[in-house]
Amino acid sequence: MSTAYHETSDDDSTIALRDPATSDLIQDRWQMAVVAIGRRATADAAQADSMLADAAGLLAEALKLDYSGVALVQPDGTLTMQVSPARLGLPAVNAPQRVSDRSDESLAAFALSQGHPVAVPDMGKESRFRDPLLRRVQARSTLACPLKMGQQNYGALLVAHRERYEFTPHDLMGIEAIGHLITTTIARNRAEQALTEQLRFDAALLDTVDAVVLALDADMKVLNLNRAFEEMAGFSLLELRQRTLASTLVVQEEAALVQMTLSRLTSDSGPAQFECWILTKHGARRRIAWAFTRVPGGEKGSLALMGAGVDVTEKWELENRMQKSRAAKAAQNQDGDGNQPAAGADGQSADDAPRGRDRRMRPRRAYPYMQRMAPIKNGQMPALSDFQEVECNDIGAGGFSYFADTRPAESDVVVAFGSGSSQTYLKARVVHSTPTMHEGRRVFLVGCRYTGRHTYSR
């Protein structure tokens, strides 16, 4: 030990303190140790075990002590400890030893139970705990710093000396500062590892799903997709990332409706179910039946919507042929007044639908909102001042329906969906008007099929 002066404590025992010159030197060593450990902690390749061993070694070197030690909490909750000599000629424990996790059996466990650094000037007089491993290397003075965050225990850093050594308050603050730095680093590394493993699991899980899967952010841009989607569309994630579904994959005539449906889902509880055509990389069209769900807490750049889809192209084509066949049959069976049985918005005759079931061949969802609409007269597009509000009933990828007091006089209309600057104008053809009861009054349910898109100059 260096030259020291003495101070008498309240219990008349004598405490050895370092002289000022030596204290300044040790303080410089503390600062160098903190910097060195900080550099190691922020390195990308930092590994918990090697970082802990280096930190303990730097502590022993800064204080000029005989031993450094690292205790680690194992997954099963037990403790293992490695004690290493800080200079040549001292006995060593060559391999990590399992030590008791009871606070009365080891210094590391005791420090973890206390939650703060524990200094022991003389192990021979210590009655709070035993530590056979430290006694085996004849450690007399020891200092342990627990590594814990909240209720999570990671382990402890230890230094020891074979002679009596009085640890100062500065020593305790220094080792505690280093302990906080290391604890934060360990927690960060483990969180990153857990996240990486979770992402790897999620990716593997997505690739085992037969359905096509899309993950979108709050701006409707693609964040992720599964292998089934890549195989169906011919695009890789790299080609689609940060591009919107409506502008990249959906056919032009359905893009506005898809964008509007998904935009509503970011504020509604959902889920949203609809069909749309996906244009593949090779120019083919695939009909996908989607179910999108809002992910709570989605913000700009983060996951907001998760969608799963089923390719129903072959089913849709078969149903479309059946619809055309039914329409041709209905035209042949017109009544004496030149009328034919009422048909759904998708072209299916009401008489052909099974009783008690929705006659539409494609899924619809309720849409009880007021929207603005105007008729197309003599092929002339209506002015913005011609639009009037109508009460919608439902909506789908192929068309929509609304309630009217009288049968529509024109066969083509323009409907405005959305509001403000995000308003979208779609052209539609009236395909049926069916008398019905709505809210206690007789009205007509008018079904329309989309035929295109229209733009008004501002």
Model pLDDT for residues 303-336, shown as the tens digit of each residue = 788 888 888 888 888 877 777 777 666 666 544 4
Q: How far is residue 290's CA from residue 230's CA, in Å, rounded to a whole number? A: 16
- What b/e readout covers 257-267, taking b as 16+ CB neighbours within 10 angstroms? bbbbbbbbbbe
Task: Calculate mean pLDDT across residues 388-415.
Answer: 90
3-class DSSP state for residue 267? coil
* pLDDT tens profile 247-301: 888 888 888 888 888 888 766 666 788 888 999 988 889 999 888 888 876 555 5
Dihedral sign (CA 222, 226, 227, 233): negative
* pLDDT tens profile 179-207: 887 888 777 777 777 666 665 655 555 55
Q: Which amino acid, residue 87?
A: R
Residue with the two structure tokens 């008498």: 8
Indicate whether 1 pLDDT > 80.
no
3-class DSSP state for residue 195? helix
Q: Going edge to edge, which strands form the sheet with 285-294? A: 222-225, 212-217, 303-311, 285-294, 272-279
What does the mean pLDDT of the chain come to? 77
Lowest average pLDDT, out of 17-31, 137-151, 194-208, 346-360, goes to 346-360
pLDDT for the residue numbered 74: 86
Task: Calculate mean pLDDT across residues 362-375.
Answer: 79
User: Residues 6 or more apart from 432 whose CB is under 8 A from it?
Assistant: 342, 343, 344, 345, 350, 446, 447
Max intra-chain CA distance, the chain? 122
* Percentage with pLDDT > 70 across the chain: 73
Is pLDDT larger for residue 41 or for residue 148? 148
* pLDDT tens profile 44-67: 544 556 677 878 887 888 788 999
3-class DSSP state for residue 342? coil
* pLDDT tens profile 205-250: 555 556 888 888 888 889 888 888 888 899 998 999 888 887 888 8
pLDDT band, very low/low/confident/very high, at 10 (cuts 50, 70, 90)? very low
What is the value of pTM for the model shown?
Answer: 0.43
Indicate whether 13 pLDDT > 90.
no
Indicate whether 79 pLDDT > 70.
yes
pLDDT band, very low/low/confident/very high, at 40 (cuts 50, 70, 90)? low
What are the structural domains of the chain? 4-192 (3.30.450.40), 209-311 (3.30.450.20), 361-454 (2.40.10.220)
pLDDT for the residue numbered 410: 92
Contact criterion met (CB below 8 Å) for 114 and 128: no
pLDDT for the residue numbered 376: 94
